[in-house]
Amino acid sequence: MSNAKGSQSLPYSGVRAVEMTHMVMGPTCGMVLADLGADVIKVEPISGDATRMLRGSGAGFFGTFNRNKKSIAVDVKDPRGIEVVHKLLANADVFSENFKSGAMDRLGLGYAALSKLNPRLVYVSHKGFLPGPYDHRTALDEVVQMMGGLAYMTGPEGRPLRAGTSVNDIMGGMFGAIGAMAALAQREKTGRGQEVQSALFENNVFLVAQHMMQFAVTGTPAAPMPSRISAWAVYDVFAVKDGEQIFLAVVSDTQWAIFCDAFGLADLKSDERISTNNKRVQARDWLLPLLRTHLEAFSAAEISKIFEHAGLPYAPITRPHDLFEDEHLLATGGLADVTLPADASGAGNAVTTKTALLPVTLNGERLHLRSSPPSLGQDTKTLLNELGYSLEDIKQLSDAGVVKCGASNTGDASGATANEMASA
């Protein structure tokens, strides 16, 4: 599971981040920093991050957003546990949390307290709302999608629909990481850390800002995506031969001519009523039914081949699990082998599968997976020893239930694969 080059050449090598996070938003921030080389320590309760045990639509949360991290299990309600966390933070560079407002302050882990302990610390808070009239509310990704216009834009008229993934949680975590990076850069000038805040609602507003601007420019409210007036005449999902579906796009006059030539539509190519893109947009009511009828005779594979040869945009309608076998991802190293620990796999034993890497390259290389998501308390002993605790000290803390020392997640070949899990 290790990158042969290790983390020494990565941008944030030498940076230590401590996180007390759960679900998606906070863990995403830590994952981005970890992928970029930071030493990220996940502080978990003795019972573990509850996300380890989520099933249904949350079953992939822990395995996706906690790679390249270490785990220490500590009871922070015990003064001895808080002492452990304070020692971790005394020389840390970043602290990240995504609990309800006030929770960290009550534990003595708020920004005011920690900035005195470590003035160089960058403190990242992930919340539902930035400070203001809404900041007392409890927020979830779906809540802010509904109140922030995204669900309205995604669903058909009268049927607001959340996006099909945790867009605000993931992007909110990314913006938290960007804020941490900016604060670390500024620390080079000032010598001091600062508090960084990222929020779900404000992230969602950023996502729909283009539709806000659309209204400002046109004076007309943006219509939901299923009923919008498209900027392009051919930009839709088409039902083709044998009931298959495919997304097709023809977004310029040059592409329109190529499309017509490729599919034997000389009459439409020469029709003055649809000679420009804007004219074709106005003619969608009668033009699209004609195109749909014409394309019904072709299979999705035939259309794909024609579009690819002509350099026209197209896409198969793909399900998320199909991406495990995507030839481009496999050829370019976009997926990495990963082993989910038994306490987060739902299988009772380790599960080996693949995970998607960050969608960037540095010097032409993807950011490798250096370690799989940790089992609960996997690094407790090692980290406590680094902090100066003796083996006897660690045993006493463990016996008292203040810390939990877990087994290492070895990721051996005995782990069940994702495919084996699916067929079990």
pLDDT tens for 20-47 read 999 999 999 999 999 999 999 999 999 9
Geometric angle at alpha carbon 336, from 39 and 332, rounded to 5°? 120
Give the burial string for 231-269 (b: 16+ CB within 10 Å, else e).
ebbbbeebebeeeeebebbbbeeebbebbbeebebeebb
- Under CATH, what is the fold of the domain 16-207+372-407? Rossmann fold (3.40.50)
Task: With cut-offs at 50, 70 and 90, classify the pLDDT of residue 7.
Answer: low
pLDDT band at 410 (very low <50, low <70, confident <90, very high): very low
Q: 122 pLDDT band (50/70/90 cuts)?
A: very high
* Residue-wise DSSP of 17-40: EEEE--TTHHHHHHHHHHHTT-EE
Q: Using one digit for the tens of pLDDT, what is the confidence trace for 281-310?
A: 999 999 999 999 999 999 999 999 999 999
What is the rounded average pLDDT of the residues 411-422?
Answer: 36
Supply the pLDDT for residue 408: 65
Q: What percent of the chain has pLDDT over 90?
A: 88
Q: Which two tokens stand for residue 115?
A: 């900035």
Residues of the chain with CATH 3.40.50.10540: 16-207+372-407
**pTM over the 0.95 mark:** no
Q: Name which of 164, 163, 282, 286 is nearest 229 in CA terms.
A: 282
Residue 223: pLDDT above 80? yes
Q: Using DSSP, state whether 324 is helix, strand or coil.
A: helix
Domain 230-316 adopts which CATH fold? formyl-coa transferase, domain 3 (3.30.1540)
Residues forming CATH 3.30.1540.10 domain(s) in the chain = 230-316
What pLDDT sits at residue 406? 86
Name the nearest CA neighbour of 36 among 65, 6, 10: 10
Tell me, what's the pLDDT at 1? 39
Mean pLDDT of 363-375: 95
How high is the pLDDT of residue 162? 95
Average pLDDT over residues 76-100: 97
As a whole number of angstroms, the distance between CA 367 and CA 347 comes to 28
* Among the ranges given (193-202, 382-391, 406-415), the one the predictor scored with the smallest mean pLDDT: 406-415
CA distance 405 to 408: 9
Tell me the Ramachandran region of residue 229: left when phi exceeds 0, alpha when psi lies from -120 to 50, beta otherwise.
beta
Strand order in the sheet with 234-239: 234-239, 245-250, 314-316
In degrees rounded to 5, what are phi and psi of residue 162? -65, 150
Longest dimension (CA), the chain: 87
Is residue 422 pLDDT above 80, yes or no? no
The strand pair at 69-74 and 403-404 is best described as antiparallel
Note the pLDDT tens digit of each residue in 133-179. Answer: 999 999 999 999 999 999 999 999 999 999 999 999 999 999 999 99
